[in-house]
A and B are shown apart, each in its own frame.
Chain A
Amino acid sequence: MLPHQHLSSIARLISGRDAMLDAMSSAIERFSARDVLFADIRHEVRSATRLAVVNSALRKFDRTNRAGTVARVLVGECWGQASTTQAVTASTLKELLSEALRMARAGARYSKKRIEISHAKPLTMSVQQKMKEDPQTVSDEEKLSFLVELDRAQKVDDRVINTNSVYDESRFETRLANSAGSRLEWDEIRMRAMVQSVAREGSKVQFDYAVKDGLAGYELVRAIDVNNFAGECGRGAVDLLSAAKPPSGEMTVVTDGDIAGLIAHEVCGHASEADEVVKGRSFLTGLVGVRVASDGVTLVDDGTIEGLRGTVPFDTEGTPASRTEIIGRGEYKGYLHTLETSARMGVLPTGNGRAQDYNHRVFARMTNTYFDIGKWTDEEIIEDTKDGLYVIRPTSGMEDVVGGGVQCLALKGYIIENGELKTLVRGMALTGKVLDVLKTVDAVGDTLQFSGGTCGKGEEDYIPVSSGGPHMRARMVVGGG
């Protein structure tokens, strides 16, 4: 058993010393300056294979390998960070630390505060992700053949005029040494298959999509029913050609698990990231212990769930991932922390300090964020709704950390009349004031559904996450395009 329980389900311990980690640890140990409160060095290798078949022809086949090293230094309450793609040597590491120190000191001239990173416990571990089938052992011909099949299966109708099928496998390898004494090495392997069909009839053009992804090996691809996965996408695009414009205004909305997940992520996920709380920007600042939603609402961020895209053994700072209850039965419970925010708020870090890569900053981010289940079946929620809108297929969302609003865009839905799904409607936005919306939740389904995606914070810094939930019912404002 690995020291952190969740690791045993997603990773296995490996042994042996690593020369690069030795060099990084050594550079940290030798680096000393009176004003340095914390320092770390990370070396990352990010490789990926991407294939895209468009209209039956291979349009893209890429293999990439990016490697870089980044050093961070904390002085006062300001960080300096320096990264490079030069070879890792004792000299390079020393230069990175010195450069980071110089910049941290420059920033610290504007502040007199100090942050003591006291919760960073020394960990020494090398872990390797568990998977049934390493995608590197599968031939490229087989991956290409899978995509060609996906593309073929989308062509369910002559009106499908454009088919797109994408395969994406990525491998992140991270080494980390820090001034608390940690020496860590881990990998993350993610798979993703995606289809998008475009249908045209006269001047009308519509699309639909489907995605399957996760922290997994090639077994994720083998589990896909090609005809079902891609065929439904093709049919979805054709059906949208005759979809009606959705109604606009405030109404009863029933979401499927994917839309519920998008709302979970945008509504309270971003505003629960503790860097937004320590500076008082989040509308959820100071709400721990306060009732913010109806009893049926429980919201969780959990980076330990096996197989999900946002799962990680450690966050970017080397803190093991964990489960954090954000809202428990309607009561606000807690925030998502980095080493720094946990120190500032006097709590334990939650494993939510994440960075896009060696070129980006670490700050508080989500992993897998979801509304927990209730007692209704999906069918019962629809049958119990006299008039409303059933919304599915999220396309994007945008948080409103300050104002407490939300924008969630969806591709399609159905008008609900007297407990039955009726007219198919096309693209729409859902919005509302978060705390008002959550208090109107009056039905929560009993089946969880997750979907993976890529999360930006503000307008950049993209990381893999997933979000999910059960079917849910609430009052929201809808605008149909």
Chain B
Amino acid sequence: MDKERIAGKLLSLSEKEGASQAEVFALTVKTSSVYIDDNIPKVADLKTEFGIGLKFVLGKQLGFTSSTLLSESPEDVVKRAKSVAHVSSEDPKFVSLPDPKVASGRMDRFFDKPTANAGSPELLEKVMMLVQAAAAKNVSVPNGVLRASSIDFAVHNSLGVRAGSMSTNVFGFFTAKAQDGGVVGEGVQRCWSRDLSKIDFPNLGNKLKSQAMSVLNATAFKENWTGIVAILAPSEGSEMVHQLVGSAASAENVNNRSSPWADKLGSQVAHKGLTVIDDGLSSAGLLSSVVDDEGVPTRKTTLIESGTLRSYIFDSYNAGVSGVSSTGNGLRRDPRDSLGRFSQPASCGVTTLEIPAGTKSLDEIIREVQKGVYIEHFAWPQVDPISGAFSNEARNACIIENGEITAQVKHCLLVGNMYESLTREVVASSDREVHDYCVIPTLAFSDLELVGQ
């Protein structure tokens, strides 16, 4: 479907139906995927989805609806949006949809044509390079997915916003299983990029294999250690940093008082060595686009500067509540998969969180640790963003004693509080990786607890 024409039509129909303001988000996503099962391409697919999200405003009453326009007409959708707005109670905090502003660059600035055009033959070739590198006599690749997406959206609103952006995304997730008699080891690798050609699949396969083989030697950690240093690989640290900072710095949570960082602007919330930036124009970021999903130009916002909380992130609603400008953080898209995301209204979220690289290599950081652990893989890294508490099971980790790795371990819990951890020195490595919502280095946190079986 022609998203500009549909967006224009829905906007026009909304105005005719009496909307005081209206906004249309029209999204086309085309995704090709290959799923690996036991070393073979088990499923290859092609998904094409078009959908719209319509915000209908009647004074201070807001309604939102969405549709693929397959089983209903634009007129039906507008009538439904109007009925939703009509029933809604007035929201006294609502100020306005965003005004038009000039975007920072061409709408295809973050679009890679070969990636957008990659279909199942190209993905099959890439993914089988990984499988061939990883597979060995006692190593297989039982699970995996590689997908490449093109994401093309337009935002029109009744105040004159006519904006949009095109981008591409590649996501891969692979596991390897190594077996030696009754002992098994699992390796896990993810890859993220906006450009398929930037991913070194044979290298990823080799890493997967060596990770699975190394876990064969891992034993269950049997002790309880307190006051230790935990070094988190970017894949793990990124999820914990995103869950915590993304929630605490969100103006939505600040305005509804659930963020521990409410009223803390200008206060020290982290160690002076830590700086965290939200960059909607990040060169490596997966959600980079010239406008956010409300048509507001994206930008770089320093959230924490040398430990001091400098800014929150704002979508247009929360910017209106706080009497400031949106920081271009009204988002619907997801770095992992944007299919179906038209069906949600924009909400306040990070674009790409960046933490600057440090000066030390991972090996140098390890050499400075007296007692600690290097976590390569958690079961799933999680933090309670309200209290900061976390307790995550390590599935692949290395024990560090006196600056050296002394054992490979698994099945132990890393326990701590992320808000407290941020206030102590956080050591960053000299290399950074893109993972999900973050571009961050390996990070070392101190004074944590490691609980064994």
Contacts and interface: CB of A to CB of B under 8 A. Distances in A.
A441 to B, nearest CB: 17
Nearest to B37: A279
Contact of A162 (B38, B49, B72, B258): B258
Nearest to B317: A59
Contacts of A141: 87
A448 interface: no
A144 to B, nearest CB: 7
Given A81-B45, A85-B50, A460-B337, A433 B411 contact: yes
A200 B393 CA distance: 28
B43 interface: yes
Contacts of A265: none
Contacts of B92: 57
A420 B413 CA distance: 27
B340 A66 contact: yes
Given A144-B87, A198-B258, A400 B413 contact: no
Nearest to B190: A459
B63 interface: yes
Interface residues of A, number: 85
A64 B142 contact: no
A87 to B, nearest CB: 6
A203 interface: yes
Nearest to B414: A479
B219 to A, nearest CB: 12
A299 to B, nearest CB: 20
B175 A61 contact: no
B89 A144 contact: yes
B332 to A, nearest CB: 12
Interface stretch (A29-37, A100-108, A185-193, A346-354): A100-108
A250 B382 CA distance: 21
B380 to A, nearest CB: 4
B309 to A, nearest CB: 14
A249 B452 CA distance: 7
A57 B91 contact: yes
B393 A403 contact: no
Interface string A338-361: 000000000000000000010101
B391 A67 contact: no
A460 B336 contact: yes
Interface stretch (B120-128, B275-283, B358-366, B425-433): B120-128
Interface string B18-58: 00000000000001001101101111111111110000000
Interface residues of B, number: 87
Contact of A66 (B66, B88, B258, B452): B66
B405 interface: no
A61 to B, nearest CB: 5
Interface string A78-119: 111111111110000000000110111011001100000000
A289 interface: no
A427 B418 CA distance: 13
A426 B451 contact: no
Nearest to A250: B453
B242 interface: no
Nearest to B44: A103
Contacts of A400: 379, 395
Contact of A86 (B70, B391, B411): B70
B415 A60 contact: no
Contacts of A198: 257-258, 386
Contacts of A395: 384
Interface of B: 31, 34-35, 37-38, 40-51, 62-72, 77, 80-81, 83-84, 87-89, 91-93, 120-121, 124, 128, 140, 142-143, 173, 175, 177, 184, 186, 220, 224, 256-258, 260, 336-337, 339-340, 343-345, 379-380, 382, 384, 386-387, 389-393, 395, 410-411, 413-417, 449, 451-453
Interface of A: 45, 54-55, 57-68, 77-88, 99-100, 102-104, 106-107, 110-111, 140-141, 144, 161-162, 198, 200, 203-207, 248-250, 275-276, 278-281, 283, 357, 359, 361, 395-396, 398, 400, 402-403, 405, 407, 409, 426-429, 431-433, 458-460, 477-481
Closest 4 CB pairs of A and B: A479-B413, A481-B389, A429-B391, A279-B38
